[in-house]
């Protein structure tokens, strides 16, 4: 660096591209240097993973190379430390180069760049061997920040066509590589495919190279840029305005290009965040209503009368009263504010009190949102904003449930003890209402400034009802459609984690498509594509069914803006009342198809989810037909965003929020991905503890979500496998939940849930510490009563294949059903020569009736305790292994059924029925002493007051 003299000042100059070159060289030296050293010194160790080693796996992953061994770890850390200085300079120089007067975007991008650099240091110096959790937190933070950094660099690129083109190619390659990366990781982790981790490693190294290469492109921008250090008294300001390069100039008139052509405003972003949170609150309240209602027929074992609360949504009929309509629309923020009662419903101690609070909130929330939409129908810009807030609120609700294992943390069944964030939810709601109340919402009169519409308000209401039902029943939880298509092991389709993020991503893409191309989404062509997706989801399983579900997801989200915009053209009192009323009919319809044994007229719609789906699409079709009667699409052929710059600016902030939600969902998918390294409780004795429990849909006696209490009891009971009955909650009336996700992740177990919610059963599930090698789902004969579900699985326990059956029999009122079910399942169990365990709900007395079919030479099964006469529902049967013990643990207030537990020893003969004392049993074959006497938290050994052990 040669000093220069200008006008008497001493000036030092450094070419800008030198910084980039030094950064790139040190970064590549860190990774490549560590790889070379690792391959030379510890090759066989760094290619070894939890399943396979050399020669099956022959190339190391990035994490194994840079973090597991000395000295390659030190080589990496030294060069990354050298890289950090140039890295901070690169971020700073790019900010200087792209800074625009009055714009906050360069500052935001620079902040993201600094954050990425700091998190890089986090996962560099806290390796996975040091602290796996913090290493993952830093790594996922780095990856999440990569998306806004990449988009920001593209948006702020100086006028250099070559640099922009390279950035686009490298960014596309980077994010495109994530798809095969995730695929091969799942192949390795879930399917244990030999060699899959080596292929994954190549994609992982590709991400590293592409990430560094993307930042290396700044050398082109800095080619005519230099760092100057001189003695000055003032700051020279030139024209720092940057414009898009020639490549972007060609795209400036395209819809997406127009949206981001404005100055960033934090105030406008906060307004959008407040609107979206109120949308989230709507979906929180609406989805919470079903769970609260379900509690009552569940405990009454039939119609209770409280089911009338589902009609809380019909409140928009009040908008048919002129003075009341004007008041509600003029003070819509006040109307929305009253729904805080639903957010605070958890404060009511009784189930009736919480149901009343949530019902009131649903009433007010449906009224408020209907009024807001209709009052904005004369202002397309503000109407679009309200629709986006409501729809992105649905996505936010789904993301929240994805993060909290399908429970919304603000629901009335949640509180602090079981993982609820109710106080946080109320605080955010108050802040959002305060923000919204600062500006006028609605014009107070929904009849002004709008020409008389063509078409029918009834058809518009039907379309709205079909769409609302479809969104609620399928998309209010990211795992619902995955449960529809799940068919057991080996895995042949999507998993709730990570593929729930795919559902959320498709929701976001569909909404954006509907905003930018509204005319296309309300066409009959689009309706046909959506209908094909609905048919595939209904008729097929595994990936085919899921791809159909994603198609339907895309279509419904894309159609939402057009469908609501169509509905607001008509008188709100009758249109939205009719829409919500028909939505309620669909809610009851989709419950009736499975609850047919307990409701009047149930047999007429028994097992007809296909009718529900067909009706939903027909109703949506009515709305599409009605929307096409409007002349507006014919007058406005353009598919561009509104020409109003304010509208384009407003739209961008909602898109920012949508992108942020996508990042959160990807982070959740990464953090929740199962480890699949589970260990049984007592491998030293080859013992296998098995349990059966009817969990009553994870609602306890006081209407609180019971997953945490269940998890504690299962863990303390040291269960290696457990069958759960009455476990399917993937319906509106049950909150679209899946408690097995929480239990499996917290307990470290594989999980198989089935048959799916579209198979019309109350569900059963199997959780296992041992790998599930194969499983099939069965619907047993049920000509009169409710369908009986069963899972037949084969697990690998201590290198021996063992069959496990989980089964829920029909009710006492249907003896023929139970007889046929017994014949079906005993034949299935008898056909297997492997050791077997039946975890079941049989509805019979010991040694009477069907019991003598279950325990018979045909099945080959033995009763775990023939002397236990005090049973009716739950039974554990076995064959082909030694039964070491049997216990019955009281339920406390979690459910209405006890937990039964059997202890077995794999690889030993069955033994006798002789009962022995506990002091004759080795320590590791005894049941936990925790539940003796009074037990803990209401759980104790009961009936016999202690476990039984067998010789």
Question: What DSSP character marks residue 264?
Answer: -
CA distances for 307 relative to 241, 726, 727, angstroms: 62, 20, 21
CA–CA dist 181, 177 (Å, integer): 6
| Residue (of 423, 311, 327) closest to 371 by Cα position | 327
Question: Any idea how long the chain is?
Answer: 951
Query: Is it true that the peptide bond before 755 is cis, omega within 30 degrees of 0?
Result: yes
| Cβ 320 vs Cβ 571: under 8 Å | yes
Pairing label, strands 800-808, 836-841: parallel
- Residue 849 neighbours by CB under 8 Å, 6+ apart: none
**Among 877, 893, 636, 595, CA closest to 760:** 595
Q: What CA–CA distance (Å, rounded) separates 253 from 14?
A: 39
Which helix H or strand E contains 860, and what residues bound it?
none
- List 839's β-bridge partners, or say none: 806, 876
C-beta separation of 928 from 718 below 8 A: yes
Rounded to whole angstroms, how far apart are CA atoms 739 and 729?
A: 8
Helix axes 322-330, 351-375, angle to 10 degrees: 90
DSSP-assigned letter for residue 864: S
869, two tokens: 């006469």
* Residues 853, 826: Cα–Cα separation, whole Å: 7
Dihedral, CA of residue 272, residue 275, residue 280 and residue 282, to nearest 10: -160
Q: Report the half-sphere exposure of 120 (CA within 13 A, side-chain side).
A: 25
**396, HSE (Cβ side, Cα atoms, 13 Å):** 25
Other beta carbons within 10 Å of 738: 30
DSSP for 632-692? HHHH----SPPS-HHHHHHHHHHHHHHHHHHHHHHHHHHHH--------S-GGGTEEEEEE
Secondary structure (DSSP) of 820-848:
HHHHHHHHHHHT--S-EEEEEE----TTS
DSSP-derived secondary structure letter, 378: T
Number of C-beta neighbours around residue 176 at 10 A: 11
| Residues acting as catalytic residues | 808
Alpha carbon distance 266, 272 (integer Å): 10
Contact (CB, 8 A) for 758 and 609? yes
Gap between the Cα atoms of 422 and 911, Å rounded = 53
Q: Which helix (H) or strand (E) holds 262?
A: none
The two beta strands, 899-905 and 687-694, are: antiparallel
Which residues are within 8 A (CB) of 40 and not within 5 positions of it... i.e. 6 or more apart? none
DSSP string, 512-575: HHHHH-HHHHTSHHHHHHHHHHHHHHHH--HHHHHHHHHHHHHHHHHHHHHHHHHHTTS-HHHH
Note whether 119 and 141 are within 8 A (CB).
Answer: yes
Phi-psi region of 102 (alpha: psi -120 to 50; beta: other; left: phi over 0): left
For 801, the enclosing helix (H) or strand (E) is strand 800-808
Residue 849's SS3 state is: coil
| Run of H or E residues at 886 | strand 882-889
């Amino acid at each position: 660096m040669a000093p220069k003299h200008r006008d008497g000042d001493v000036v030092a100059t450094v070419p800008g591209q030198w910084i980039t070159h030094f950064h790139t060289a040190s970064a590549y030296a860190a990774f490549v240097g560590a790889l070379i050293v690792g391959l030379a010194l510890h090759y066989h160790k760094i290619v070894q993973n939890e399943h396979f080693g050399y020669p099956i796996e022959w190339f190391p992953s990035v994490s194994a190379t840079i973090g597991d061994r000395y000295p390659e770890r030190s080589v990496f850390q030294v060069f990354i430390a050298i890289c950090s200085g140039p890295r901070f300079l690169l971020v700073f120089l790019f900010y200087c180069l792209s800074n625009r007067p009055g714009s906050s975007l360069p500052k935001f991008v620079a902040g993201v760049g600094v954050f990425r650099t700091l998190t890089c240091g986090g996962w560099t110096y806290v390796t996975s061997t040091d602290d796996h959790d913090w290493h993952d937190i830093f790594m996922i933070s780095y990856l999440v920040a990569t998306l806004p950094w990449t988009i920001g660099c593209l948006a702020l690129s100086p006028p250099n066509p070559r640099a922009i083109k390279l950035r686009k190619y490298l960014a596309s390659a980077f994010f495109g590589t994530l798809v095969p990366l995730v695929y091969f990781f799942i192949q390795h982790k879930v399917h244990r495919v030999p060699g899959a981790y080596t292929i994954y490693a190549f994609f992982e190294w590709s991400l590293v190279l592409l990430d560094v290469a993307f930042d290396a492109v700044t050398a082109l921008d800095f080619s005519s840029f230099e760092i100057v250090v001189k003695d000055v008294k003032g700051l020279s300001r030139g024209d720092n305005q940057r414009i898009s390069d020639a490549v972007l100039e060609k795209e400036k008139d395209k819809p997406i290009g127009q949206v981001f052509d404005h100055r960033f405003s934090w105030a406008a972003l906060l307004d959008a965040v407040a609107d979206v949170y109120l949308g989230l609150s709507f979906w929180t309240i609406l989805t919470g209503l079903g769970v609260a209602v379900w509690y009552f027929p569940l405990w009454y074992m039939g119609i209770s009368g409280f089911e009338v609360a589902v009609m809380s949504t019909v409140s928009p009929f009040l908008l048919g009263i002129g003075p009341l309509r004007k008041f509600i629309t003029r003070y819509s923020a006040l109307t929305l504010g009253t729904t805080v009662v639903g957010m605070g419903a958890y404060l009511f101690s009784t189930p009736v009190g919480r149901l009343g609070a949530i019902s009131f909130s649903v009433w007010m929330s449906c009224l408020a949102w209907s009024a807001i939409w209709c009052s904005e129908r004369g202002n397309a810009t503000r109407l679009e904003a309200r629709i986006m807030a409501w729809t992105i609120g649905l996505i936010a609700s789904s993301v929240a449930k994805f993060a909290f294992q399908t429970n919304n943390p603000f629901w009335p069944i949640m509180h602090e003890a079981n993982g609820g964030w109710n106080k946080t939810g109320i605080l955010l709601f108050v802040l959002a209402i305060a923000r919204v109340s600062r500006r006028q919402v609605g014009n107070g009169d929904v009849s002004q400034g709008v020409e008389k519409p063509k078409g029918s308000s009834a058809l518009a209401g039907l379309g709205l009802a079909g769409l609302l039902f479809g969104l609620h029943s399928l998309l209010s939880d990211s795992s619902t459609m995955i449960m529809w298509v799940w068919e057991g092991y080996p895995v042949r389709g999507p998993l709730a984690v990570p593929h729930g993020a795919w559902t959320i991503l498709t929701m976001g893409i569909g909404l954006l498509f509907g905003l930018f191309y509204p005319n296309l989404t309300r066409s009959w062509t689009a309706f046909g594509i959506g209908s094909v997706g609905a048919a595939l989801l209904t008729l097929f399983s595994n990936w085919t069914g899921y791809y159909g579900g994603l198609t339907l997801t895309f279509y419904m989200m894309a159609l939402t803006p057009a469908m609501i915009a169509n509905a607001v053209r008509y008188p709100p009192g009758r249109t939205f009342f009719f829409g919500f009323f028909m939505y309620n009919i669909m809610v009851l319809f989709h419950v009736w198809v499975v609850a047919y044994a307990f409701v009047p007229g149930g047999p007429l719609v028994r097992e007809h989810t296909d009718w529900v789906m067909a009706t939903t699409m027909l109703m949506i079709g009515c709305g599409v037909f009605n929307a096409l009667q409007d002349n507006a699409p014919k007058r406005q052929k353009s598919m561009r965003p509104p020409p109003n710059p304010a509208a384009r600016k407003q739209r961008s902030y909602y898109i920012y929020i949508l992108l942020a939600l996508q990042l959160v969902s990807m982070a959740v998918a990464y953090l929740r991905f199962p480890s699949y390294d589970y260990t049984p409780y007592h491998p030293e004795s080859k013992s296998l503890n098995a349990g059966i429990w009817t969990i009553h849909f994870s609602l306890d006696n006081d209407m609180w979500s019971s997953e945490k209490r269940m998890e504690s009891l299962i863990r303390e009971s040291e269960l290696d496998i457990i069958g759960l009955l009455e476990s399917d909650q993937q319906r509106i009336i049950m909150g679209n939940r899946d408690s097995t996700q929480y239990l499996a992740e917290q307990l470290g177990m594989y999980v198989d849930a089935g048959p799916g919610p579209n198979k019309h059963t109350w569900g059963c599930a199997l959780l296992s510490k041992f790998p599930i090698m194969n499983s099939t789902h069965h619907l047993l004969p049920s000509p009169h009563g409710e369908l009986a579900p069963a899972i037949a699985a084969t697990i690998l326990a201590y290198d021996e294949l063992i069959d496990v059956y989980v089964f829920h029999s029909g009710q006492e009122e249907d003896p023929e059903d139970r007889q046929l079910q017994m014949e079906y399942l005993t034949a299935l169990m008898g056909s297997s020569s492997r050791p077997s365990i039946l975890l079941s709900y049989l509805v019979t007395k010991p040694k009477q009736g069907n019991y003598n079919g279950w325990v018979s030479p045909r099945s080959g099964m033995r009763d775990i305790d023939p002397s236990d006469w005090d049973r009716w529902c739950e039974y554990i049967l076995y064959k082909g292994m030694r039964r070491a013990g049997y216990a019955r643990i009281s339920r406390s207030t979690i459910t209405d059924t006890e937990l039964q537990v059997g202890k077995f020893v794999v690889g030993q003969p069955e033994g006798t029925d002789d009962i022995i004392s506990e002091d004759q049993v080795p320590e590791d074959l005894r049941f936990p002493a925790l539940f003796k006497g009074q037990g803990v938290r209401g759980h104790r050994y009961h009936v016999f007051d202690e476990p039984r052990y067998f010789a």
